């Protein structure tokens, strides 16, 4: 009997451990290495990240940020010394702007409500900014603390003795509603502020529940304060409440919903309920630590560890969760596309032009389940709007270029991630490939001409035509591979294979750069290799010529062979940071950031060239990829408010660091290969969702020992300049020995080079 009992236990144990994919690892408190203030010392003219300190849980529906500026744009600037409140925000970038935001601030003695009037002095030495927790003590003697869940948060607000304790709620313009309920100590309402990309009925419903009764209350608009008024609806309105004299601590529980006030109340009771501040804070910290501990590092400097986990934090904020769980425990979402509440997942706040490069490839490796949900969200977007998103916030926005949704989908499906409707996604991709969309950045502007001529001509009133061509050609590579996997007709497969080579059409062998071409086949006159914009996007030909992710060998051939290619690669770093900007009419901040990088034409502050360093792996000089990757990590990342060298962009510039610090980078998402760089830690362990662990050991690595002397993978000598996805997923160990001098033999044979379409027979 006893034996039978143990046998059953053993079977149960095996059954559970097979289902449970999560790896149980020793948890370290890694949240302490995150500095959310990194990148917040930015303004319109110069970006050191253009971030704000988001206190949230990973991929949370709402972020909470201290507000020093207006409700949208530069919400928080490190250089500011006045504080306007803590804001629930949803802003992916100051350039795209905020939506669905509201702000609260404790005010004492004299009731002031407008943001310029109510603002209070503060200093950073009385501020604690963490991923899961934010606290500030203001000069008026009040303090605020906030800690979040996915869709809710809890505040502690303290007041100094002997001062009238008010709390002001600001609905932040562009249409809102507030309602004060003195019986239940609540303020409810909605805000509909946005910067576009929303249907008519768009609203963010909220509920604040206080643990204290209101001594007095009222509403306000820009025209003044209305005491004893319990309800207001206005273009810009808010509420205020006063607590009893002598009140020291007020606890406010808050939740929101894009669906309804009832759903916001449900979110509040589910996510906060009776829990207290410490419990919510511990849970938020535990959520971050669970994710951060999926990648554990040893060695490296303190700065590198802070850079790494701060980057990991930024990689795990976007895309934003836009789905909620209804009263019947069903996953539903408010559609920012058609305004309906519909079943299934939805994510938003992302520009794929940035994030296809490294953020989504990171999810493909580390977050396959999340990736499947995101894919379902993309299929829902197509069903609800007729198009895939390229820049969503929360609905379609016209920003940037490309057809990069194909990259996300191909990288997911080709790596075996399932659980979503790939046929709908494929249909959407094919529609993109044939049609311009309702906005310039949705669908493919110039699709008909591109499909006919093999490039988007520069003289048909479609801007940034060369950049579009190069990105469409890469997307066509992704479609080609996907079409094979989906057993599509051979003609269709061949068509996309051919189009994936369209980058050839814009390479001018005379000037040895990509350049604009007219509909009649002639080059656009007056070629200027330093000209930003025009036929390119936020960069010049120096930055876009390398956008041949799918076929570096093809690019090498166009340039006249390996030596010529290497000469050009070296010239990126040795050519002065010259730029012309007629297209923009002013020097855009990205140009200034290139100059400040001090790495010649290597403009790491913007996305087009961020993969280029790794191209040395295709040309027999992998040690230069190691050198420049390490130089970029050392020089251009610091765990300080001015620590980044340009817009962070929804995790992309951070994901570059995460991959690079581990010694690899996904140059061509979709190919399933990761080009090798220079690992900055003695050991990195990737705890994968399938239960396996991939370990990267770098013996002897350090500030000077940045070069790979030799390597082994699972005990066998390893000479390749890349890992495959399967090598990572199977778990195992790569062991490097690092040295101060480059090994000019390792990784120099063509058989060691990563994937190029041209090499595929």
d(CA 747, CA 742): 11
For residue 665, the minimal CB distance to Ca ion (Å) is 17
Instruction: Give the residue with the Cβ less far from Ca ion, 242 or 647.
Output: 647
Stretch in the footprint of Ca ion (CB under 5 A) among 180-188, 206-214, 374-382, 645-653:
645-653
The piece of 14-22, 87-95, 455-463, 641-649 that touches Ca ion (CB under 5 A) is 641-649
Judging by DSSP bridges, how do beta strands 295-298 and 683-687 pair with one another? antiparallel
Q: Which is nearer to Ca ion, 171 or 608 (CB)?
A: 608
The nearest distance, CB 349 to Ca ion, in angstroms, is 15
606 binds Ca ion (CB under 5 A): yes
Using omega within 30 degrees of 0 as the cis cutoff, is the peptide bond preceding 319 cis? yes
Concatenate the DSSP letters of all residues of 663-712 into one string: TEE-SSTTS-EEEE----SSEEEEE-TTS-EEEEEEET-SSS--EEEEEE
Taking the least distance from each CB to Ca ion, the nearer of 266 and 594 is 594
When CB distances to Ca ion are compared, the closest residue is 647
Residue 274 CA: distances (Å) to CA of 18, 156, 277, 414, 726 = 35, 15, 10, 45, 46
Radius of gyration of the chain (CA): 27
**Residue nearer to Ca ion on the CB measure, 86 or 603:** 603
Query: CB under 5 A: which stretch of 390-398, 521-529, 642-650, 719-727 binds Ca ion?
Result: 642-650
CB of 681 to Ca ion, least distance (A): 27
At its nearest, how many Å lie between Ca ion and the CB of residue 652?
8
CA dihedral 71, 74, 77, 80 (to 10 degrees): -60
What is residue 244's DSSP assignment?
Answer: P
Binders of Ca ion in range 337-366 (CB under 5 A): none
Q: Are 76 and 66 in contact (CB under 8 A)?
A: yes
Whether 554 and 503 have beta carbons less than 8 Å apart is answered as yes
Give me the least distance between CB of 132 and Ca ion, in Å please: 27
Q: How big is the site for Ca ion, counted in residues (CB under 5 A)?
A: 3
Q: Which is nearer to Ca ion, 626 or 653 (CB)?
A: 653
Under the binding rule (CB under 5 A), the answer on residue 432 touching Ca ion is: no
Residues 6+ apart with CB under 8 A from 345: 323, 331, 333, 373, 374, 376, 377, 380
Nearest-angstrom CA–CA distance, 583 and 591: 13
- Per CB under 5 A, the segment of 241-249, 286-294, 521-529, 649-657 that binds Ca ion is 649-657
- Least distance in Å: CB of 534 to Ca ion? 17
Region of 255-263, 287-295, 484-492, 604-612 interacting with Ca ion (CB under 5 A): 604-612
Binding window for Ca ion (CB under 5 A); candidates: 308-316, 415-423, 549-557, 643-651: 643-651
Q: Is 649 in the site for Ca ion (CB under 5 A)?
A: yes
Whether the Cβ atoms of residue 756 and residue 551 lie closer than 8 Å to each other = yes
Least distance in Å: CB of 205 to Ca ion? 33
Looking at residue 379, the DSSP 8-state letter turns out to be: H
Min separation Cβ 698 and Ca ion, Å: 30
Distance CA 397, CA 196 (A): 7
Question: 69: which 2 tokens?
Answer: 């500026």
- In sequence order, the β-bridge partners of residue 696 are 684, 734
593 binds Ca ion, rule: CB under 5 A: no
DSSP state of 225: E
| Shortest CB 653 distance to Ca ion, Å | 8
Query: Which listed range, 172-180, 493-501, 617-625, 639-647, lies at the site for Ca ion (CB under 5 A)?
Result: 639-647
CB of 646 to Ca ion, least distance (A): 6
Q: Which helix (H) or strand (E) holds 423?
A: helix 422-434
**Residue 648 found at the interface with Ca ion (CB under 5 A):** no
For residues 620 and 643, which CB has a smaller minimum distance to Ca ion in the complex? 643
Cβ(715)–Cβ(753) under 8 Å?
A: no
Which residues would be at the binding site for Ca ion (CB under 5 A)? Answer: 606, 647, 649
């Amino acid at each position: 009997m006893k034996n039978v009992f143990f046998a059953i236990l053993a079977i149960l144990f095996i059954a559970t451990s097979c289902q449970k994919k999560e790896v149980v690892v020793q948890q370290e408190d890694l949240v302490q290495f995150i500095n959310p203030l990194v990148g917040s010392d930015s303004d319109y003219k110069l970006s050191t990240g253009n971030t704000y300190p988001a206190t949230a849980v990973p991929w949370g529906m709402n972020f909470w940020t201290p507000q020093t500026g207006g409700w949208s744009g530069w919400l928080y600037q490190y250089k500011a010394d006045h504080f306007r409140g803590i804001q629930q925000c949803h802003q992916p970038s100051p350039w795209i702007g905020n939506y669905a935001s509201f702000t609260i601030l404790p005010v004492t003695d004299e009731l002031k409500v407008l943001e310029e009037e109510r603002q209070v002095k503060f200093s950073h030495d009385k501020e604690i900014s963490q991923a899961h927790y934010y606290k500030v003590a203001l000069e008026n003697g009040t303090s605020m603390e906030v800690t979040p869940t996915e869709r809710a948060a809890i505040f502690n607000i303290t007041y100094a003795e002997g001062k009238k304790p008010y709390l002001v709620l600001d609905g932040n313009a562009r249409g809102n509603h507030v309602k004060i309920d003195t019986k239940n100590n609540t303020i409810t309402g909605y805000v509909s502020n946005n910067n576009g990309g929303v249907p008519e009925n768009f609203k963010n419903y909220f509920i604040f529940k206080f643990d204290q009764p209101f001594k007095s209350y009222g509403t306000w608009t820009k025209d003044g304060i209305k005491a004893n008024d319990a309800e207001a609806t206005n273009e810009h309105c808010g509420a205020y409440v006063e607590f009893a004299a002598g009140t020291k601590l007020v606890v406010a529980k808050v939740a929101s919903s894009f669906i309804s006030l009832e759903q916001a109340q449900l979110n509040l009771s589910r996510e906060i309920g009776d829990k207290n501040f410490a419990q919510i804070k511990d849970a938020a910290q535990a959520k971050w630590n669970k994710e951060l501990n999926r990648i554990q590092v040893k060695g490296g400097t303190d700065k590198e560890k802070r850079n790494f986990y701060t980057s990991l934090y930024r990689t795990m904020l976007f895309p934003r969760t836009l789905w909620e769980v209804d009263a019947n425990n069903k996953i539903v979402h408010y559609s920012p596309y058609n305004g309906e509440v519909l079943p299934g997942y939805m994510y938003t706040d992302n520009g794929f032009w940035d994030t296809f490069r490294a953020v989504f490839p990171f999810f493909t490796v580390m977050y396959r389940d999340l990736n499947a949900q995101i894919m379902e969200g993309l299929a829902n977007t197509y069903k609800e709007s007729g198009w895939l998103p390229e820049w969503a916030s929360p609905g379609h926005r016209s920003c940037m270029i490309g057809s990069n949704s194909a990259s996300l989908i191909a990288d997911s499906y080709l790596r075996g991630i399932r659980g979503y409707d790939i046929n709908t996604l494929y249909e959407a991709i094919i529609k993109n490939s044939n049609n311009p969309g309702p906005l310039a950045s949705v669908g493919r502007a110039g699709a008909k001409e591109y499909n006919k001529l093999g490039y988007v001509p520069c003289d048909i009133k479609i801007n940034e035509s060369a950049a579009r061509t190069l990105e469409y050609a890469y997307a066509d590579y992704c479609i080609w591979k996907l079409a094979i996997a989906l057993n599509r007709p051979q003609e269709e497969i061949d068509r996309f294979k051919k189009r994936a080579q369209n980058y050839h059409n814009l390479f001018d062998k005379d000037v040895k750069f990509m350049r604009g071409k007219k509909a009649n086949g002639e080059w656009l006159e007056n070629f200027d290799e330093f000209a930003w914009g025009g036929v390119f996007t936020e960069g010049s030909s120096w930055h876009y010529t390398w956008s041949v992710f799918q076929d570096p060998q093809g690019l090498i051939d166009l340039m006249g062979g390996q030596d010529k290619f290497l000469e050009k690669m070296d010239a990126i770093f040795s050519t002065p940071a010259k730029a012309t900007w007629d297209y923009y009419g002013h020097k855009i901040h990205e140009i200034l950031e290139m100059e400040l990088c001090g790495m010649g034409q290597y403009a790491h502050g913007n996305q087009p060239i961020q993969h280029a360093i790794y191209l040395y792996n295709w040309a027999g000089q992998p040690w230069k990829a190691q050198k420049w990757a390490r130089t970029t990590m050392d020089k251009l990342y610091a765990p300080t408010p001015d620590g980044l060298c340009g817009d962070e962009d929804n995790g992309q510039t951070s994901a570059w660091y995460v991959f690079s610090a581990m010694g690899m980078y996904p140059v061509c998402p979709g190919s399933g290969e990761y080009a090798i760089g220079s690992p900055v830690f003695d050991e990195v362990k990737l705890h994968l969702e399938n239960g396996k662990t991939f370990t990267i050991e770098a013996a002897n690595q350090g500030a000077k020992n940045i070069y790979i002397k030799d390597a082994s993978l699972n005990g066998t000598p390893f000479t390749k300049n890349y890992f495959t996805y399967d090598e990572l997923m199977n778990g195992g160990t790569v062991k490097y020995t690092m040295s101060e001098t480059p090994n000019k033999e390792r990784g120099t044979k063509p058989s060691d080079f990563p994937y190029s379409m041209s090499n595929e027979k």
